[in-house]
Amino acid sequence: MRIDRQRVKEHFAAYTRNYDPSNPKIALKIAHTYRVADNCEEIAKSLELDDEDIDFAWLSGMLHDVGRFEQVKRYNTFIDSESVDHAEFGADLLFGEENLIKDYMDFRSWDKDLEIVIRQHNKYRIDSLVSGKTLVFCNILRDADKVDILRVNVETPMEEIYNVTRDVLFSSGVSQKVMDQVREHHAIFRDIMVSPAEHLIGHIALSFELVYPKSWELAKEQGYLYQMFDFPTNNDSTKKALEETKAELESFYSRKQVKEKYIACKINPLITLFF
């Protein structure tokens, strides 16, 4: 079964016209949506998925942040802990009482898996009950999202992302609790990130979590990750944190790439990971 991509784009554009495109947060999420969808397609192709599965991956990117627009309208923030879980909210809009999914496609056979993928895209860890191809689609979307979050942190004024003044942004520091998790090479727990600088380090640390080799390739090609290390902080702890995080990330992927080459011929491309 195939989707009509033009129809999807037209309905997404119609939906987002209900919000204020002059609001930088709304404009950010519109651009982010299209880029995540493109990333999903690139990653899916790298796994040699069939055309229908590539369509599914692309569609998940187009719909993954539907909840963001109403979140910004109601709360003027992207911080879920201060408003709503945007993934759950978006899935409710698409598959709940409002049933917005019907505007994007007529057949319903994808709804169950698509709802799971959208609900799981922002979770710290994917639910252990998710498996098989649905898990593959979850990982594709999560990778695609992370790759574009790096771009957003460079191209969008960070005071807009973090809802702070420039003075607060450039003077904020980074705690050892955050750096301990950087040294463990995984995403940083949301509840320990307090300052804007810690959220910046947290976004960089998402790179530790990329699942597929193509995702890391896309992150390197776009070049935004290394621009994030040039954050013009006035805080000594943040300067040191950026230097250390860069070194940890380079060491991490140097080892991962060597091991990935070794195991590539032994693993089904659907589940090839950077171990």
Encode pLDDT of 140-196 as tens digits: 999 999 999 999 999 988 888 888 899 999 999 999 999 999 999 999 998 899 999
Encode pLDDT of 39-89 as tens digits: 999 999 999 999 999 999 999 999 999 999 999 999 988 888 889 999 999
Q: Which pair of structure tokens corresponds to residue 267?
A: 């693993």
pLDDT recorded at residue 260: 57
Backbone angles phi, psi at 206, to 5 degrees: -60, -25
- CA end-to-end distance (rounded Å), the chain: 33
pLDDT recorded at residue 82: 86
Q: Which domains does the chain have, with CATH numbers?
A: 1-156 (1.10.3210.10), 159-275 (no CATH)
Q: Taking 80 as the threshold, does the pLDDT of residue 24 lie above it?
A: yes
Supply the DSSP string of 64-114, one letter for each residue.
TTHHHHHHHHHHS---GGGS--HHHHHHHHHHSTT-GGGGT-S--TTHHHH
Is residue 170 within 8 A of residue 233, CB to CB? The reply is yes
Q: Of residues 264 and 17, which shows the higher confidence score?
A: 17
Q: Taking 60 as the threshold, does the pLDDT of residue 101 lie above it?
A: yes
- The pLDDT > 90 percentage for the chain reads 81
Cβ of 258: how many Cβ atoms within 10 Å?
A: 9
